[in-house]
Amino acid sequence: MKNRYTIILSLLIAFILAGPQIFAQSSEELYQKGVQLEEIKGEIEQAIDVFSTVLKET
């Protein structure tokens, strides 16, 4: 039981420390997501939000 608790606690600490890097997307990935939203799904407003994020990152 103690071993299981140690593993869970270690994973929790690792996720907290690496948090934003785990879920971060590159500008190219975000751009492709925006293109997909605009051209395939027709969700123009959401695509604009994604493209704005790309511009802020560059």
pLDDT band at 57 (very low <50, low <70, confident <90, very high): confident
- For the whole model, what pTM was predicted? 0.57
Burial 21-48 (b: 16+ CB within 10 A, else e): eeeeeeeeebbebbeebbeeeeeeeebe
pLDDT digits (tens, 9 = 90+) for 3-55: 888 888 887 777 676 655 555 678 888 899 999 999 999 999 999 999 998 88
**What pLDDT score does 4 carry?**
85
